[in-house]
Structure 1
């Protein structure tokens, strides 16, 4: 009896050990699959490339009166897509979540006046720069604000998740002097500009490319751009971290679009001059 009991116990233990090993193996396999899924294939292997954008960012990528997504970056993306022999799909996203959307594989590119910064380089791969930009201070034409120091005690706005916010936050002492001790942030620049027009804000910090296009459309006499600004930057296209295969192919296609004059013509269409970085 004792031998039979011992044999039963040994058999049960053997089953438990076997199950344990199987579970560990399955768990390891699941983890490996999850890791592989996260790493993913290169976007270059896809037939359709999904571009994530803020669809209110004129003139780079925005919805027109007919509800179609248009803009400089939209035209440029389509031109590059042809060189890559890829279909381009435009996907509006929450701009503050752009890097997360890219990392999760919901989009393949961040392309919408996306400024190149050291902080962002930690999260994404960047294409070569293709446009220069400056973070400018915009006020209403009759405002008594003439310099950065005049922003003390004023309500200053910017788009959440934008490099305008980053640029202002670098000048912490100045920002603390604002009304409320911080920026008033908005989901998009259009909302910030509307609050400026309604005088709920005294100034906004925004991309110069957007500001000048907006001012031209709404009446340049209504606004002014201060001489002082929050620094210059360059636009690039965000590609998933580690996808160097796509970066190389993308830059080659972008260079071809610039070299054959297509990018220059697109620039003239939207800015009345060729401002593309050669």
Structure 2
């Protein structure tokens, strides 16, 4: 009888010990969970969110420049303040234009809060970039071999060509009629180079330089020059939006200086360039870039596909 009671007692003790052991394991597990949360280690949900973010950026860490821009709260761009590409609306103080709209969408996808613009003469934009006074050049700049020696360019945003603007009552009816005439253009642009070639070939009489589009258009409107050669998109926009200008486009006219446009960054900001290109090409594929172009009255002829728009930088 005592042996039986003893066995029962021993059995009861064993059951109690096992129960305490099991309870202890459960308590340890709970304590570990609390410690993970307290030390800031990722919970399974947090890890899933981090994985999603890594997927958005291709699993790569942000570039040094992108981090700096985010800390500052804005990207600083350089532009000559030319409509309809990249300009400040005088009535609202807001940045507007085709290039600005494209950049704004890129910034949205990269998490850049704002854009600020420094106005620089077009010919000095790449100089300001390499002097670290701006983060990027955004001003309808053609991607050309000589510029690729000075800075790195994004993949192409879109394409276009030049136009010749003449007074509404001008007798100039063709490119041949420019012979002996005084022509204006903006230094640093492809269009100035085109006009310089015309001068060298004896196709025009004189070439005058004007710092920006506003003074260029004013010059031909006031009769200081017989015609100006400038960006076709700029010319069309300017004439359609300013009825005070008694000007027209020379037509028919076949552009000589057609090219593709991109934005420029410093050679050392290669990682940032890749981030911009990733966002840009995603915009091409999902149709948002073409929508921006169409909002400015441009057709699909101005669109450059992902494959056709690849830029090969020298550094």
| Displacement after TM superposition at 1:221 (Å) | 7.9
The 5-angstrom pairing of residues 1-278 of structure 1 reads 42-46=64-68, 47=70, 48-55=74-81, 57-66=82-91, 67-87=93-113, 88-174=115-201, 176=202, 178-179=204-205, 181=206, 183-219=207-243, 222-226=247-251, 227-271=253-297, 273=299, 275-278=302-305
After the TM superposition, which of the residue ranges 260-269 and 117-126 deviates more from structure 2? 260-269
**Which has the bigger relative contact order, CA under 8 A and spacing at least 6?**
1
Deviations 1:9-67 (A, max 9, x none): xxxxxxxxxxxxxxxxxxxxxxxxxxxxxxxx853342232111111x11111222323
| Displacement after TM superposition at 1:177 (Å) | 5.4
Tell me how many residue pairs correspond in the alignment: 234
After the TM superposition, which of the residue ranges 211-220 and 91-100 deviates more from structure 2? 211-220
Q: Hey, what's the Cα distance between the residues in 1 that align with 2:255 and 2:303?
A: 22
Which is greater in Rg? 2
Q: Which 5+ residue runs of structure 1 have no aligned equivalent?
A: 1-40
Q: Which 5+ residue runs of structure 2 have no aligned equivalent?
A: 1-62, 306-315
Contact kept, 8 Å, 2:191 with 2:257, in 1: the verdict is no
Q: Hey, what's the Cα distance between the residues in 1 that align with 2:304 and 2:186?
A: 25
| Displacement after TM superposition at 1:265 (Å) | 2.5
Tell me the secondary structure at the aligned position of residue 256 of structure 2.
Answer: strand
Decide whether aligned partners of structure 1 residues 276 and 61 sit closer, same or farther in structure 2, where only a CA change above 3 A counts: same
Q: Determine which structure has the larger strand proportion and give its number.
A: 1
Deviations 1:159-184 (A, max 9, x none): 1221211222234533x5534x4x21
Q: Hey, what's the Cα distance between the residues in 1 that align with 2:299 and 2:268?
A: 35
Taking structure 2 as the reference length, what is the TM-score of the superposition? Answer: 0.68
Q: Hey, what's the Cα distance between the residues in 2 that align with 1:221 and 1:151?
A: 19
> Which segments of structure 1 move beyond 4 Å, counting only runs of 4 or more?
none
Q: Hey, what's the Cα distance between the residues in 2 that align with 1:225 and 1:241?
A: 39
After the TM superposition, which of the residue ranges 135-144 and 70-79 deviates more from structure 2? 135-144
Decide whether aligned partners of structure 1 residues 89 and 222 sit closer, same or farther in structure 2, where only a CA change above 3 A counts: closer
